[in-house]
Amino acid sequence: MLQVNNISFSYSDSPVISDISFHLENGTHLAIMGESGSGKSTLLKAIYGLLHLDQGNFFWEEKQLLGPNFNLIPGEKFMKYVAQDFDLMPFTTVAENIAEHLSAFEQESHQERVHELLQIIEMEAYAQVKVKSLSGGQQQRVALARALAQEPKVLLLDEPFSSIDQFKKNDLRYKLFPFLKEQGITVINATHDPNDVLPFADEVLVLRNGQQITLKPTETLYHRPKAYYVAALFDMVNKIPAQLLLNSATEDQHLLFNPHELELTETSGLEVYVANNHFKGGHYLVEGVIPSGAAIFFKNPEALEVHSKVLVSVPKVLLDQRLI
């Protein structure tokens, strides 16, 4: 188990993360989400041992993890940290970069292990290419393979697919994360992309301005967000005055719904003035305005006539869950 107990860190007198706590069972996949500057990268660096804490502590099972003030070489052997700068050896080949992190006592199995890791990152054809000749996205994939080479117990990922082409991201996600789960590796993934989170993360920790906003199982957090900030991390979100739908609601209360949760209705519903249609491939994202003057977005198979008025239904079963 990894335990993080009330940790805080600041640069000079500027707090970056404050009073963050959580624990992870072995093999758990935790996503850390938050807007840019919320403290995601700093939290990873602190866990890995690159930063000396102002307060708090870490434990892996029964062992306390100490920062750079106590270790000549910062970082823990059972952990691997994939930063956004990759830290590769540019004048050696992809295969050599990966093999360099394999055990010197298992030379006979190096070639097989390197090939396995190259398959995971889909770069078998680049085994003998020097790293300096690779694109940024390819280098990021090599950094991932190199981190896996020594079979870490904990893997810390900082925006692991940020430099990778969109058409490659999905393949890599669906190879890498299931592989890590099968291997029982504990994963902490700092990301702003919900596609890295929803299909794979067991839990989500949300940060804002260095503060821990919430920590919940992924599905619970997605279906029952208790703040607009949290809901907006996953998808475009509609913030609707609750009094338009609930007679018992107060003036300052709102309801949160994703576009796919709203549907056209022929009878009763929320009146929407259609302002625009945005083609999204399999559907249109319709942009409208509700009586309060707020913008609203919902999905529809076809484009709707601009300037027309339509009725949109809101799932009654979700009303209490989405009230903030």
Q: Which CATH superfamily is domain 2-230 in?
A: P-loop containing nucleotide triphosphate hydrolases (3.40.50.300)
Q: Using a CB cutoff of 8 Å and minimum separation of 24, what contacts does 166-173 make? A: 168/122, 168/137, 169/195, 170/195, 171/122, 172/121, 172/122, 172/141, 173/199, 173/200
Q: State the chain's maximal CA–CA distance in angstroms.
A: 73
pLDDT beyond 80 at 124: yes
Residue 286 has a pLDDT of 96
What is the rounded average pLDDT of the residues 289-318? 92
Architecture of domain 235-318: Beta Barrel (2.40)
- 59 by Cβ neighbours in 10 Å (0-12 / 13-18 / 19+) ranks as middle
Q: How many CB atoms lie within 10 A of CB 245?
A: 17
Q: If DSSP codes are grouped into helix, strand and coil, which group holds residue 125?
A: helix
CA distance 59 to 194: 29
> pLDDT per residue over 260-297, tens digit each?
999 999 888 899 999 999 999 999 999 999 988 899 99
Structure tokens at 146: 């190199």
Residues of the chain with CATH 2.40.50.140: 235-318
List where CATH 3.40.50.300 sits in the chain: 2-230
Q: Report d(CA 304, CA 287) in Å as an integer.
A: 10
H or E element in which residue 240 lies: strand 238-241
pTM: 0.89
Q: Which residues are CB-contacts of 197 (< 8 A; sequence separation ≥ 6)?
A: 31, 33, 189, 191, 204, 218, 234
Please give the average per-residue pLDDT across 219-232, as a whole number.
Answer: 92
Residue 211, classed as helix, strand or coil, is: strand
Please report how the helices 110-120 and 166-182 are oriented relative to each other, as an axis angle in degrees rounded to 10: 130
pLDDT in tens, 46-101: 999 999 999 999 999 888 988 888 877 777 888 999 988 877 888 899 998 888 87
Would you place residue 167 in the very low, low, confident or very high pLDDT band (cuts 50, 70, 90)? Answer: confident
